[in-house]
């Protein structure tokens, strides 16, 4: 597929519950608040978490009379016909159409993908400039890259997902000579700094270079994320819960997302409008 004008961020990991949708949504809202134009695509037709997040946001805004930024959003359903070939053709068409509609008038296109392999997910990966893979802070989650020797942490066998990313990379290289910047993001980091977490960090560092990806510090484990989803809000939005604990938790989470965006090294074009004022 030909390249787009927008910088494409794909959030992927063949594992459910690693924080893909939460990360994708927060990145989108953060970049909007920063004054960039953002479109989003949800290709997880089964869970549609991202799409629900967007709907919850619109409903909450309406209910409260709030005026907050929203991405232009597309939800792409999978095709369910009898012929695989026709389904792939139909999916390619709706994907192409959605991308075509926004590629030249947004700065960032953020695509949220399901925790398993689908045609739409592959299409998304082949369009990625930046691939963000959230991994939970456990050795088990490193399976997204490779099967590891449980004693030494040495990779034994490349994972299905790593192979899929490598394939998307070589396709990308053939199309326009560009590569995919693959960034593993630690998510739900335990605040306790357990021995296991340190081991995960060390192992990730060693194997990241081998798989041509890099690692970024991500987001700590925080209960606030659970209450934000039903109202479609992010840590960047003004929320009414004024409890001191909640607000300091919000402020720390905001700082973590800012650090994450800095670590992603995104090309930051001229802002479309002035950043909106965020609280600390």
Residues that bind ligand ADP (CB under 6 A): 16-22, 49, 115, 187-188, 219, 221-222, 225-226, 229
Say if residues 195 and 201 touch (Cβ distance below 8 Å).
no
Q: Which does 18 bind (CB under 5 to 8 A by kind): ligand ADP, Mg ion, none?
A: ligand ADP
Task: Tell me how far, at minimum, the Cβ of 236 lies from ligand ADP, in Å.
Answer: 14
Which entry of ligand ADP, Mg ion, none binds 92, CB below 5 to 8 A by partner kind? none
| Phi and psi at residue 150, to the nearest 5° | -65, -25
Rg for the chain (alpha carbons), in Å? Answer: 19
CB of 115 to ligand ADP, least distance (A): 5
Q: Which does 229 bind (CB under 5 to 8 A by kind): ligand ADP, Mg ion, none?
A: ligand ADP
CB 67 within 8 A of CB 32: no
Stretch that binds Mg ion, among 46-54, 68-76, 204-212, 256-264 (CB under 5 A): 46-54
| Binding region for Mg ion (CB under 5 A) out of 15-23, 167-175, 205-213, 260-268 | 15-23
Minimal distance, residue 243 CB to Mg ion, in Å: 28
Nearer to Mg ion, 40 or 203 (CB): 40
Exposure string for 211-237, b = 16+ CB within 10 A, e = fewer:
bebbbbebbbebebbeebbebbbbbbb
Q: Choose the binding region for Mg ion from 41-49, 131-139, 229-237, 254-262 (rule: CB under 5 A).
A: 41-49
With CB under 5 A as the contact rule, the residue among 7, 15, 20, 122 that binds Mg ion is: 20
Looking at the Cβ atoms of 40 and 49, the one nearer to Mg ion is: 49
Structure tokens at 68: 């907050």
For ligand ADP, the closer CB: 170 or 227: 227
- Interface residue with Mg ion among 49, 51, 124, 126 (CB under 5 A) is 49
CA distance linking residue 211 with residue 169, whole number of Å: 12
In angstroms, give the least distance from the CB of 177 to ligand ADP: 31
Most distant CA pair in the chain: distance in Å?
56
- The residue to which tokens 């659970």 are assigned: 226
Residue 9 Cα distances to 31, 187, 244, angstroms: 12, 17, 34
CB of 221 to ligand ADP, least distance (A): 4
Query: Facing residues of 73 across strands?
Result: 40
Segments in the chain forming alpha helices (H): 20-33, 49-64, 84-102, 119-126, 160-176, 195-210, 224-228, 244-264
> Which CB, 17 or 35, lies closer to ligand ADP?
17
Q: Are 111 and 143 in contact (CB under 8 A)?
A: no
Nearer Cβ to Mg ion (20/169): 20
> Closest distance between Mg ion and the C-beta of residue 21, in Å?
3
Which residues would be at the binding site for Mg ion (CB under 5 A)? 20-21, 49
């Amino acid at each position: 597929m030909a390249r787009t004008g927008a910088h494409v961020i794909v959030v992927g990991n063949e594992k459910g519950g690693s924080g893909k949708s939460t990360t994708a949504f927060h990145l989108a809202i953060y970049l909007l608040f920063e004054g960039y134009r953002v479109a989003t695509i949800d290709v997880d037709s089964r869970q549609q978490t991202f799409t629900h997040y967007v709907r919850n946001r619109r409903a909450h805004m309406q209910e409260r009379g709030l005026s907050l930024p929203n991405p232009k959003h597309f939800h792409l359903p999978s095709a369910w016909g009898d012929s695989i070939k026709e389904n792939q053709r139909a999916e390619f068409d709706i994907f192409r159409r959605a991308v075509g509609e926004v590629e030249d008038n947004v700065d960032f296109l953020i695509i949220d993908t399901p925790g398993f392999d689908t045609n739409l997910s592959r299409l998304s990966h082949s369009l990625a400039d930046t691939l963000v893979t959230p991994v939970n802070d456990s050795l088990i989650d490193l399976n997204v890259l490779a099967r590891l020797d449980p004693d030494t942490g040495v990779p034994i066998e490349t994972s299905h997902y790593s192979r899929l990313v490598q394939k998307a990379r070589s396709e990308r290289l053939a199309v326009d000579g560009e590569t995919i910047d693959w960034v593993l993001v630690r998510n739900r980091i335990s605040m306790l700094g357990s021995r296991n977490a340190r081991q995960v960090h060390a192992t990730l560092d060693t194997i990241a270079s081998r798989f041509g990806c890099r690692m970024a510090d991500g987001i700590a484990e925080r209960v606030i994320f659970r209450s934000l989803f039903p109202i479609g809000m992010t840590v960047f939005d003004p929320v009414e819960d004024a409890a001191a604990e909640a607000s300091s938790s919000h402020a720390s989470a905001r700082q973590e997302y800012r650090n994450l965006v800095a670590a992603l090294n995104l090309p930051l074009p001229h802002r479309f409008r002035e950043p909106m004022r965020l609280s600390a």
